[in-house]
Amino acid sequence: MSGVFDGLFWQYAMLFVLAATPWIELLFVIPLGIAMGLGPVSVALDVFAGNTLPVFLIVFGYDRWRASRSPEPATEDLRRGGRRRTRALHIFNTYGLPGLAMAGPLLTGIHLATVIALLFNPDRRKLLFWMTMSLLLWTVALTVVSYGGLEAVRHWLVRP
């Protein structure tokens, strides 16, 4: 008996939701999707969309959220944060917005990196550009490495 959630649609929907979930993101989801036997290009497109959508929602929803908060300076919240926030602050101070965007998926997660970048009030178009470019580069790299690694393992395990 087949379950209600069987089929490719639900597998891709699961990958999309996992990619949109903070701290799970593409570092885990791309290898998972490829290991499930789904097409690497389809996985890459699905995960890229799932990771990019929340970034846009965070950027466009930040002003409304900030207006509802107290007038305390945002950088004070950042300095009281944990290890991830401290690391992201150091990266932003050293390498700027491009550095934070490129390191974000690996060090803090792209969603937290976006929030941290917003605390410095950057131009929204530049922020979205760098976060999207970072996700694109990480998606392509992880897809190639995951697919190539899985094919190498298959080749070594299944010798003719």
Q: What is the pLDDT of residues 100-144, one digit of tens each?
A: 899 988 888 999 999 989 988 889 999 999 999 999 999 999 999
Q: Tell whether 129 is covered by a domain.
A: yes
Q: How confident is the model at residue 1 (pLDDT cuts 50, 70, 90)?
A: very low
Residue 26 has pLDDT above 90, yes or no: no
Does residue 2 lie in a domain region? no
Q: Are 55 and 110 in contact (CB under 8 A)?
A: yes
| Residue at 63 is within a domain | yes
Q: How far is CA 101 from CA 3, 13, 45, 92, 138, in A?
A: 40, 26, 19, 9, 11
Q: Which domain holds residue 51?
A: 8-142
Residue 83 lies in a domain: yes
Q: CA triplet 24, 26, 28: central angle to 5 degrees? A: 60
The answer to the question of residue 153 being in a domain is no
Residue 29 lies in a domain: yes
> Which among 111, 2, 104 has a CA at the least distance from the CA of 57?
111
Asked whether the predicted pLDDT for residue 18 surpasses 90, the reply is yes
Per-residue confidence (pLDDT) for residue 46, from 0 to 100: 97
Query: Is pLDDT larger for residue 63 or for residue 61?
Result: 61
The pTM of this model reads: 0.81
| Number of domains composing the chain | 1
Residues 6+ apart with CB under 8 A from 79: 89
* Helix ranges restricted to H, the chain: 8-20, 25-35, 40-68, 74-79, 83-107, 110-119, 124-157
State residue 72's pLDDT score.
59
In a domain, 24, yes or no: yes
Amino acid at 52: T
How far apart are the C-alpha atoms of 125 and 140, rounded to whole Å?
22
